[in-house]
Amino acid sequence: MEIIKTLLSRRRFLQASGTAGAVGAAALGSGGVLTALKPVRAQAASPPTYHATKITKSICHQCPARCGIDVYTTDGRVHAIYGSSEHPISNGKLCPKGPLGTYILYDPDRFKGPMKRTNPQKGRDIDPGFVPISWEEALDTVAGRLNTLRDKGESHRFALCFGRGWGASCAGLLGPFGKLYGSQNVPIGHSSMCSDGSMLSKAATDGNASYSAYDYRNANMLLMFGVGFLEAFRPYNNNMQVWGYIRGERVPKTRITAVDVHLNTTLAGADRALLIKPGTDGALALAIAHVILTEGLWERPFVGDFKDGVNRFKTGQHVDPGTFEEKWVKGLIEWWNIELKDRTPEWAAEITTLYERDILATAREFGSTRPAIALFERGVHAHSNGILNGMAVHSLNALVGSLFAKGGLMYQMGPSYGAMPVKEDDFMDDYAKSGPWKAQPRIDLQGHEDGYLIAKNMLQEVGPNSLAGKPYKLDTVMFYLTNPIWTAPDGRAWEDALKEVFVVDTSPFPGETAMFADLILPDHTYLERLQDAPTYPFQGWPMAQLRVPAIKPLYDTKYFGDTLIEIGKRIKGRTGEYYQALGDSENVIRHLAKGFETDPGDNGVDSFDSWKEKGVWYKKNYKWRQIGGAFFEWDGKGYNTPMTAEQVKKELFKTDSGRFEIRSGKLEHHADWIAAKTGRDKDKLMFPHWEEPQHPGGGDLYMVTPKAAMHAEGRGANLPVAIANFQPVLGGRGTVYIEINPKTARERGIADGDLVRLKSHLGSIEGHCRFFEGCRPDTVVFPMENGHWAMGRWAKGRSPGHCGEITVNQSDRVTGQCSYYTTKVSIERA
Amino acid sequence: MNTVKTKQTGILSVALIGFLVSAGLVLDNLAQYGHAALNTNNLGISWGFPIVVYDYFLLTSTGLAMLASLAIVFGGETFRPVIKRAVWLALAGLAGGVAVLFLELGHPLRALWAIPFSFAFSSPLYWKVMCVSFYVLSLLILMARMLKSHWTIAELRINGIVTLVLALGVTSIAGVVYGSQSFRPFWASGDIPIAFIFESLLGGLAFIFFFTYLAYAFNPAALPTGVKRLFTGPLPRLLALAIFVHLLFVLARMASGLYGNLEGLQVWHHVATSPLFYAEILLGLVLPLVLLMRPGTRNNPWVQMLASFLVMNALLVSRYEYILGGQLVPMFKGAWAPALLSYFPSPTEWLMLLIAIFLSNTFNALGELFLGLSSEGDPSARVEPEPLGAQWGEGGERLAS
Amino acid sequence: MAKWGMVIDLDKCTGCQACTTACSMENNRLPGENWQDVLFYHEGTYPNVKLMWFPRPCMHCENPSCVSVCPTKATYKDPHGGFVLMDWNRCIGCKYCQVACPYGVRFYVDEKAPVQPDIRTVFPSADGRVWDPPYRGPQDDPGRGIGIQPHGVVSKCTFCYHRVSKAPAGIADLDEDIPALKEYVPACVRTCAPKARFFGDLDNPESTVNKLIADKSGVRLKDETGNKPQVYYLSGGAAASVPSLRSMTPSDPA
């Protein structure tokens, strides 16, 4: 009887959310009977009409692409996100992540205001004991620490690390802060943990330290090396629009060969899928170059030719440099003689495990189809030989003349931003100009002989270096849009490092790094922010988006740009004056927009207000083009103004020679250092060449951990809809599996679906495996997404474990690229 | 008689307590978790164990009704001792089944008005519900008329015919519900309604054996002579025949299923290799069949009790494998749904079986106590006493002595 | 009246699942209960392995088996547009329609949550619905299965009835690239980046959807069930094609 009584109690019934109330209650004859009989009342008084709905033009935040979004808000609630029709990247479309932004806004696990730590003990799964504080207290605390450091002459012991910087009103403020306050460690970007290997490979060859912009729509062949074009390559949304066009509408249909280490949707959709051995893409590229040369398929107007027109590229045979006249490339014949002449498809087949016939067919197709683009990202260069692989692939673009060509690739132009309200140079005090901090190296040893001389950033070294006190220990570190405890390889080192440092996190979400924070200064989520964002490399022509808040902030949060400005105002001396003059982030953005007054966008954006209304400023003409080996500038009507070699050097090939340097001047300048640190041959290290990659970890299987379409930069793990659809090969309806080739599994006594343990010398993680023939027998694959121990209720503890726990912190010594995909692990039944 | 009454009171108490406990637990679970307390899912297992239980009790009910009405229409006085019990048991069983159905439905009370007034003539379930309603009515009338102390089979003839038609209707429509799902070849077949009728009849026979013995507290000596005559006469032979026919249907479907290539039939390979299926066929059907075919064991009351009990279980398994089997191949759920779904009843679903069992038994015991179900076989009542037949086996003699 | 139909060009589909997530958000789907789904399959042996995917909404059949089995007429074929809809005020949750759908596109609301913790407990509803997410859309029409579901009923794709039904009368195609029409286009079609989806009036001989079906030999999924889907798939487009039925008969107008 007690059971029935309990059941009948209203309280109990309401508690039971997710109840089939009608069933339980109806059978009992309680109030539920009426519920069951009564028609469901409509929730809205009248049928919805869209004129009651406000549409805000903003931009997405879930990958670097910056798609324009229409945010639908009714009665103060954001309920839908679609691509903006007027936005050149999204064109009314979105990727699968886009619509999930509302989850991010209404994430129940968000931080709701500034907080400080009360538990002095730090550690994994230790409750920080956060208690709410006022913004005033929070900002004063940070500024107080910073002022004290500066007074002691130790301002370099403050570091500010950031991940996804967006524009001048957030990441753009960091450089001046470092200069004025006096810390070379403000800022340290995450580019080395992103795709610096690609930037540096390009800097080494064509002088542009940048990702490329691509003209896919006019290309007739795309040769993709480890880019995940239909999974993660930015701008993903636009890539798919391109795909629909080039594969479903365009005449002729663009041919696609995709190279990767496991079968993904890109490979499945390509004409030819090549499942290559990890770290050997460079060998494939060299063999393709070999075939292009021996079969005379190179683009002569761009590359140059033998003086007598007779092709002397014969396998194994030395070529006299004097017989060849190079045009826009430098070092081709030397490259042939020192490396390429023996790099036959047969040789590459051995290295890459691909079939010789496939290599040959790929090379012939790529060499004989114009325009063609060879594109590559981390799959290629996140290895110890990354710079060499990257240069080898990029050199293919030179051989077929696709640099700056129609249907080729180029580099992104910046927007016509107005000047900042004030110049930081006018506010430099003596300390800033010549304080003791100046004598210190960067904490990550970027630009230092003992560290990474040529790299752009070395975020992955910050934690370990501080922990080791080499070059010194940090006192205070602040994080913006980065969560290195989780994203850095071997995050345990970061955990130990951050235990002894005062940590300020600005994430709105309870990430792993936030759990080690002493102060939480939560940012707005992106639908609440006003934030500028010049385009990520897209189609070359300039574009600047504006993230416009769709609703007022739900909680007591503050835009990071303003948090930084407010801290700046509290720094003693001239720094504070600078930030007083800067005012706030909106003032900064208003000044940026002034540039549009004299250079209005194609869509009529010529002011802050029109920018805010439309969400994007752009001008659709790229300034330069290479046509048949000659370079021209846009004159307003066409590419009609011929460019001189000097202009080309200044604007396009920013190398010593002003040409595409297969023999890299940039590397040659540092030849001694590179030779000392990598053991490479001093005569060869400036050429793309084959070098066995180093695979640490101590296991026998390559561990590959790609990002999938549902990976929403740091937030995908806590989005229930993303979790539910984490497909195709790696996912599995709420459970992400470790992909393994059936043969590999059976040899180890592992059955389909078994719980397995992956081990490197750093430790082990567990997860369920799934047999997949599209996984190489020497490789295990699972996405970098799961295994959070913080980050929110859905993310926490989701299997399989996090790859970072067993990924060795190894970087390409030249590019500084963190080699995420190079650790070897062993697998066993758990 | 008094001891039997006492024992019936005991059965009633056990059944009632069992019902209250199982219903309490189920309602508690449903209140907490809703239908998530069931192991059905949106991958493809829409109808789980509760529907198996409901269908099992419904078809048993129609089997009992068929038995009773066939007896009325064709059987004559020999069958009289079990007619009233069969009718009441049909109602009691249905009550158990419907109770479970109501717990399984999303909106059971809405169903009460929404179905009859929908005029959804294209839906087998509409016809099934309409048919069941009239079927219940017909059974109630029959029961009411049998409550008179001196009723004759002849006066129930029309009633019997109506009940028979409705029972056949309910059973065959229940078959159509599955048999018409042409894209589920494990289910779909034109002869499913016929198979259901025979299966249902088998259930009715097994139940009447078991519950008759239960009425006398499993004491064969207490059986009235009329019952004894029936149980040593045509009824065990009918039971054997019904087992045989049901076996034929199952094995024939299995054979064509195993040889068929159509997608969905691969479930048969799964079913035909499961221990449960072997238990159903060998223990639940073949063993009783053999025991009932052997003249030496056929009329042994303990054999009959065992056989009917085994058949009752086999039919539940059979129903389970049929209903689940048709759903095991998921419809377009992709590589991450397994090729064959897996299902096992949750604790709540098992408790729902107990609800059906205990509720039916509660009603049945009430009938035994207050409706004089046993009076028809009582020699002191209408049936002429007769000496024991020669076919009454040795066991019976031993026990009777 | 129009008979709305969808055409999905499989040559263009990238398997990104944006259709699935856009639908999830537009229609407040529980995570993992995808009205619109993309199904992945793979076959073959390393190194030559086939990975394929198949986008699958409700087919909104001309002759839907789910509708004919419903004992309460809670699921019905809307005569104005040919939508297959649910009346949540009539549904008794018997799930027969789910059993009778050869495409697996119907969902009972009270099953265990595919993603734990159950988001329904995070955003509980105060008025008898299954949940109340703060980002739910303003549309609510229980008689057509639109909005947040009540307990104990079956839900399904509505072809975004709340959008499509507002389209100007007589229009042949709802093309999301035409700004004036985009608000009427179903969420999955509107968001599809490679433009693999088209939505229009199958009863209008001049519609783009009919043109595509004719030019690229559109086929219907599991035509042998006789359900006659109003969703057509395109691939290849050769005139030499495998017929989906032994004899082809013209479709019924809506």
Query: Residue by residue, what is the 3-state secondary structure of chain B?
Result: CHHHHHHHHHHHHHHHHHHHHHHHHHHHHHHHHHHHHCCCCCCCCCCCHHHHHHHHHHHHHHHHHHHHHHHHHHHCHHHHHHHHHHHHHHHHHHHHHHHHHHHHCCCHHHHHHHCCCCCCCCCHHHHHHHHHHHHHHHHHHHHHHHCCCCCCCHHHHHHHHHHHHHHHHHHHHHHHHHHCCCCCCCCCCCCHHHHHHHHHHHHHHHHHHHHHHHHCCCCHHHCCHHHHHHHHCHHHHHHHHHHHHHHHHHHHHHHHHHHCCCCCCCHHHHHCCCHHHHHHHHHHHHHHHHHHHCHHHHCCHHHHHHHHHHHHHHHHHHHHHHHHHCCCCCCCCCCCCCCCCCCCCCHHHHHHHHHHHHHHHHHHHHHHHHCCHHHHHCCCCCCCCCCCCCCCCHHHHHHHC
Q: For residue A158, give the H/E element and its range.
A: strand A158-162
CA quadruple C58, C59, C60, C63: dihedral sign: negative
Query: How close, in Å, is residue C56 to chain B by CA atoms?
Result: 8
Distance CA B325, CA A295 (A): 62
| CATH classification code of A54-105 | 2.20.25.90
Distance CA A759, CA A745 (A): 15
Class of residue C185 by CB neighbours under 10 A (exposed 0-12, middle 13-18, buried 19+): buried
Residue B310 covered by a domain: no
pLDDT in tens, A117-158: 999 999 998 999 999 999 999 999 999 999 999 999 999 999
| Least confident interval from A223-237, B3-17, B61-75 | B3-17
Q: Is B111 on the interface with C (CB under 8 A)?
A: yes
Confidence of residue A595 (pLDDT cuts 50, 70, 90): very high
Residues of chain B contacting C44 with CB distance shorter than 8 Å:
none
Q: Is A13 on the interface with B (CB under 8 A)?
A: yes
A584: DSSP letter = -
Q: Is C195 on the interface with A (CB under 8 A)?
A: yes
Residue B377: predicted pLDDT = 60
Residues of chain C contacting B333 with CB distance shorter than 8 Å:
37, 39, 104
Query: How close, in Å, is residue C103 to chain B by CA atoms?
Result: 6
Q: What value does the mean pLDDT take over residues C228-234?
A: 96
Q: Quick check: C21 and A97 CB within 8 A?
A: yes
pLDDT in tens, A569-580: 999 989 999 999
Residue B95 covered by a domain: yes
Nearest CA in chain B to A6: B28
Residue A731: predicted pLDDT = 59
Residue B305 covered by a domain: no
Rounded to two decimals, the pTM is: 0.93
Nearest to A52 by CA among A30, A80, A74, A72: A74
Distance CA A431, CA A153 (A): 9
- Structural domain count of chain B: 1
Range of the domain at B166: 2-38+48-236+330-400
Q: Is C215 on the interface with A (CB under 8 A)?
A: no
Q: What value does the mean pLDDT take over residues A449-457?
A: 96
Whether the Cβ atoms of residue C115 and residue B42 lie closer than 8 Å to each other: no
Residues of chain B contacting C91 with CB distance shorter than 8 Å:
106-107, 110
Mutate to test the interface with B, among C94, C96, C221 (most CBs of B within 10 A): C94
pLDDT surpassing 80 at residue A34: no
Mutate to test the interface with B, among A23, A725, A768 (most CBs of B within 10 A): A23
Residues of chain B contacting A12 with CB distance shorter than 8 Å:
31
Q: Helix or strand or coil: residue A817?
A: coil
Q: Quick check: A724 and C14 CB within 8 A?
A: no
Q: Is A733 on the interface with B (CB under 8 A)?
A: yes
CATH of the domain at B18: 1.20.1630
Whether the Cβ atoms of residue A381 and residue A390 lie closer than 8 Å to each other: yes
Residue B273: predicted pLDDT = 93
Q: What is the dihedral of CA A271, A274, A280, A286, to 10 degrees?
A: -50
Distance CA C210, CA B364 (A): 63
- C-alpha distances in angstroms, A162 versus A157, A165, A175, A564, A746? 16, 7, 12, 12, 44
The count of other CB atoms within 10 Å of the CB of residue B397 is 10
Confidence of residue B372 (pLDDT cuts 50, 70, 90): confident
Q: Quick check: B30 and A23 CB within 8 A?
A: yes
Q: Chains near C, with 3+ CB pairs < 8 A? A: A, B
Residue A33: predicted pLDDT = 34
| Structure tokens, A728 | 């195709």
pLDDT in tens, A725-751: 886 565 566 678 999 999 999 999 999
Considering CB atoms only, which of C51, C88, C194 is closest to A244? Answer: C194
Query: How close, in Å, is residue A23 to chain B by CA atoms?
Result: 6
Q: What value does the mean pLDDT take over residues A529-550?
A: 96
Considering CB atoms only, which of B108, B120, B334 is closest to C73? Answer: B120
Q: Helix or strand or coil: residue A768?
A: strand
CATH topology of domain A115-193+416-523+558-583: Rossmann fold (3.40.50)
Average pLDDT, chain A: 92
Distance CA A109, CA C165 (A): 37
Residue C76 CA to its chain's centroid (Å): 15
Class of residue B287 by CB neighbours under 10 A (exposed 0-12, middle 13-18, buried 19+): middle
Considering CB atoms only, which of B126, B330, B331 is closest to C71? Answer: B126
- C-alpha distances in angstroms, A222 versus A214, B241, B337? 11, 73, 34
CATH topology of domain A701-829: Barwin-like endoglucanases (2.40.40)
The count of other CB atoms within 10 Å of the CB of residue B276 is 13
Residue B193 covered by a domain: yes
Regarding the domain with residue range A212-411, which homologous superfamily does it belong to in the CATH classification? Dimethylsulfoxide Reductase, domain 2 (3.40.228.10)
Q: Quick check: C150 and A80 CB within 8 A?
A: no
pLDDT surpassing 60 at residue B211: yes
In angstroms, how far is the first alpha carbon of chain A from the final one?
A: 47
Pairing of strands A221-225, A255-260: parallel
Considering CB atoms only, which of A77, A91, A773 is closest to C49? Answer: A773
Provide the percentage of residues in chain B whose pLDDT is more than 70.
93
Q: Quick check: A3 and B107 CB within 8 A?
A: no
Q: What value does the mean pLDDT take over residues A503-521?
A: 97
The ipTM value here is 0.95
Higher local confidence (pLDDT), B261 or A401: A401
Considering CB atoms only, which of C92, C101, C222 is closest to B106? Answer: C92
Nearest to A701 by CA among A628, A756, A658: A756
Give φ, ψ of A41 to 5 degrees: -75, 140
Q: B124: cis peptide before it, omega within 30°?
A: no
Q: Is C69 on the interface with A (CB under 8 A)?
A: no
Confidence of residue A166 (pLDDT cuts 50, 70, 90): very high
Distance CA B274, CA B269 (A): 9
Q: Quick check: C95 and B126 CB within 8 A?
A: no
Mutate to test the interface with C, among B30, B39, B42 (most CBs of C within 10 A): B42
Residue A620, beta-bridge partner list? none
Give φ, ψ of A545 to 5 degrees: -95, 160
Query: How close, in Å, is residue C79 to chain B by CA atoms?
Result: 17
| Least confident interval from A586-595, B32-41, B389-398 | B389-398
- C-alpha distances in angstroms, B140 versus B58, B88, B91? 16, 9, 8
Q: Where are the domains of chain A?
A: 2-37, 54-105, 115-193+416-523+558-583, 212-411, 701-829
Residues of chain A contacting B103 with CB distance shorter than 8 Å:
23, 27
Q: At what angle do helices B124-146 and B49-70 cross, to 10 degrees?
A: 50
Whether the Cβ atoms of residue A63 and residue A713 lie closer than 8 Å to each other: yes
Residue B298 covered by a domain: no
Q: Quick check: B36 and C112 CB within 8 A?
A: yes
| Structure tokens, C188 | 């999955």
Confidence of residue B389 (pLDDT cuts 50, 70, 90): very low
Considering CB atoms only, which of A80, A100, A727 is closest to C40? Answer: A727
Torsion region of B119: left, alpha or beta (phi above 0 gives left; psi -120 to 50 gives alpha)? left
Residue B280 covered by a domain: no
Average pLDDT, chain B: 90
Pairing of strands C75-77, A304-306: unpaired
A799: DSSP letter = S
Radius of gyration of chain A (CA): 28
Half-sphere CA count of A617, side-chain side, radius 13 A: 29
Distance CA A624, CA A618 (A): 17
Residue B160 covered by a domain: yes
| Least confident interval from A107-116, A357-366, A661-670, B364-373 | B364-373
Residues of chain C contacting A23 with CB distance shorter than 8 Å:
151-152
Nearest CA in chain C to A240: C194
Distance CA A489, CA A460 (A): 7
Q: Is C9 on the interface with A (CB under 8 A)?
A: yes
Give the type of residue at C63: N
Nearest CA in chain B to C58: B332
Q: Helix or strand or coil: residue A174?
A: helix
pLDDT in tens, B35-58: 999 999 999 999 999 999 999 999
Q: Quick check: A13 and B102 CB within 8 A?
A: no
Residues of chain C contacting B327 with CB distance shorter than 8 Å:
99
Residues of chain B contacting C94 with CB distance shorter than 8 Å:
105-106, 111, 125
Residue B351 covered by a domain: yes
Distance CA C197, CA C231 (A): 10
Mutate to test the interface with C, among A773, A780, A794 (most CBs of C within 10 A): A773
Q: Helix or strand or coil: residue A581?
A: helix
Whether the Cβ atoms of residue A728 and residue A743 lie closer than 8 Å to each other: no
Q: Which CATH class is domain C59-163?
A: alpha beta
